Amino acid sequence: MSRRALTLLLAGFLVLALGVIGAFRPVPYVVLSPGPTENTIGEVDKKPVITIKGRQTYPTSGALSLVTVAYQGGPAAQIDLLTALRGWLDPTVAVVPQETIFAPGRNAEEVEEENVVEMTNSQDSATAAALTELKIPYTVGVGVLSTEPGKPADGKVQKDDEITSVDGEPTKDSEAVQKAVKAHKPGESVVLGVVRGGKKLDVTLQTVAGPQGQTIVGLTMGPKFTFPFDVDISVGDVGGPSAGLMFSLGILDKLTPGELTGGKKIAGTGTIQPTGEVGAIGGIAQKMIGAKDAGATIFLTPPGNCAEASQAVPDGLRLVRADTLHQAVLALDALRTGKGQVPSCEAG
């Protein structure tokens, strides 16, 4: 073999070796794919997704399915370049920058923990929205979601405590609690009236200065709902806030005579506010694929996702725009009876 041929052979081998090594190097991307689809009026692991106690319920049929997105990758388990390339070539998945899912400095455990909190909050908001739609009264207080390690509230205030007053003055929402705490100078004491396990307690905390110099005690708060009957939602290993709309519809279907679906397999997505407004979510393309694969023919879509969804909707899946829970109910009524208008994404 000539020297020139040997040089070309070695160079080719080196390029090939570097290409193989490079293909398996980790890259800061995440692969999103269709995740599990669960029927909110059905069962998961032989247990009803929605269980209502203390209120009459009615039979249901068909499906009102929530849809999810599975991801591969992340700071602790980065995908390699070859996996990313396969994802870019697969029309059923999306490859997105890692920071889309994981904010800088956050690990997989923190993301999972946040998803669990968001799921819990979503279930409470979904129940509140359903009861609002049915004009069933409930009460809302100020609940403790978490405390910041090392701050005054840590160890003295507990998750799920309800804050009822600050320095003896009743409070109606978390903004009122924050305003009352900020009225103190850092280092001064503040007294929180809390309800814990049905017992009223006064908790005295010494305030400190926050990052911007504001007075804080290290609390994360949110609405704490008290409903007139028990609504339990169990979906297994699913997190995040995007199932809110479908939870609300499942609760409504169980609490009202007749069947919302008319026996059809309906899927959808969207966050929900206690007042019924439906919010946009991520991974809409993968969720629609999951819905179609599960046999759904109707897909309830948040207005903020309509444009993207219209560009990627699978054949045989009809998009129905759901601005609010009430609009979603009217749309399902129209689909079932053939009377009334059905809002579409194409119509804006």
Specify the pLDDT at position 92. Answer: 79
DSSP single-letter state for residue 66 = E
Question: Using 50, 70 and 90 to split pLDDT, how confident is the model at 107?
Answer: low
Specify the pLDDT at position 289. Answer: 94
Q: Which amino acid is at 301?
A: T
Q: Lowest mean pLDDT of 54-58, 98-102, 151-155, 162-166, name the range.
A: 98-102
DSSP H or E run through 209: strand 208-209
| Backbone torsions φ then ψ of 288, nearest 5 degrees | -65, -40
Domains contained in the chain, CATH given = 33-76+112-136+229-347 (3.30.230), 139-226 (2.30.42.10)
Give the pLDDT confidence of 200-237 residue by residue, as tens digits: 999 999 999 988 889 999 998 989 999 999 999 988 76
Out of 224, 254, 264, 287, pick the active-site residue.
Answer: 287
Indicate whether 291 pLDDT > 80: yes
Indicate whether 20 pLDDT > 50: no
Q: What is the pTM of this model?
A: 0.82
Specify the pLDDT at position 256. Answer: 96
Residue reference for tokens 């809110």: 244
- The per-residue DSSP string of 240-257 comes to SSTTHHHHHHHHHHHHSS
Mean pLDDT, to the nearest integer, of 248-262? 95
Q: What share of the chain is helix, strand, coil (3-state, %, to 5)?
A: 35, 30, 35
Active site residue 287: yes
Instruction: Quote the CA–CA distance of 148 and 154 in Å, as a whole number.
Output: 6
Candidates 258, 259, 293; CA nearest to 62 is 259
Indicate whether 49 pLDDT > 70: yes
Out of 242, 248, 254, 292, pick the active-site residue.
Answer: 242
Mean pLDDT of the chain: 85
Per the CB < 8 A criterion, the answer to whether 187 and 213 are in contact is no
Who's near 179: CB < 8 A, 6+ residues apart?
none
Specify the pLDDT at position 11. Answer: 46
